[in-house]
Structure 1
Amino acid sequence: MRFTVDRLDHIVITCRDVEVTSSWYQRVLGMEREEYGRNNRGALRFGGQKINVRPYGAEGWGTSDVEMTGVQDLCFIAALAPADVIEHLNQCGVAIIEGPVERIGALGPMRSVYCRDPDGNLIEIGSYAF
């Protein structure tokens, strides 16, 4: 038997302000906010995945030996053309760093637009339909 993983279930990002970060992901990327577990931890749900939002300095919620914010490089797929992604980001007041540019994603060629979240994480919004 060969061991393989099936999919990514969730990731955890460390942020300076859970409310600011969660609001940005909800407003800009359309994610749904939820609370879960002990101490009402925050999460952002989209499709069959979620992002747990960990406040910087959270006691009892260690994720690495070195705690930092703004070090993630995350790629999300949108069912929109890159021009529509750019228009949406502009309407949200989000600065575009780069794009649209051609990239290779998990399913092949795509076009991507890049921005940053409130903590400085690099956010790539890719589209396979271009």
Structure 2
Amino acid sequence: MKVLRIDHLVLTVSSIPRSVAFYRDVLGVEEKLFGEDRIALSLGEQKINLHQVNHTFEPKAACPMPGSADLCFVVEDLDAAVSRIARAGITIEEGPVTRSGALGPIQSIYVRDPDLNLIELSVYGTAA
């Protein structure tokens, strides 16, 4: 067997509407409805399914809880991301800094979502 890519992951959140608003309005991720009134965040060929804490689906992780994720998203333009984050009144916790991405060096900033998950926004090709 060979694993090809990540298809989706599940993010347990304290409020689906609040999380959708952050990821859609601040980060520009597309909201998708699927199944029986379930909500996902669509990012190219991948998605993040949102589960409301204490109302998750089976099977699920052993200890699903809001605020335990650390996610990295590749963006088109880090300067545009910084501007959009500033307009939304979100604090940049760190960055821009050089980090190591799956394909090599990346330049990143770090912010928090409404559940305090760590969100890394990164670009390839400009890291020193």
Amino acid at match of 2:45: G
Aligned twin of 1:19 = 17
Aligned twin of 1:122 = 118
Aligned twin of 2:32 = 34
Aligned twin of 1:106 = 102
SS in 1 for 2:79: helix
Count of matched residue positions in the alignment of Structure 1 and Structure 2: 126
Counterpart contact for 1:79–1:129, Cα < 8 Å: no
TM-score, normalised on structure 2?
Answer: 0.92
Aligned twin of 2:53 = 56
1:27-77 deviation line (CA, Å, top 9, x unaligned): 111111111113x11111111111000000115444222231100000000
RMSD: 1.2
Percent identity reads: 39
Residues 61 and 95 of structure 1: CA distance in aligned 2, closer, same or farther (over 3 Å) = farther
TM-score, normalised on structure 1?
Answer: 0.91
Unaligned runs of 5+ in 1: none
SS in 1 for 2:115: coil
1:86 corresponds to 2:57: no
- Mapped to 1, the partners of 2:56 and 2:13 lie a distance apart of 14
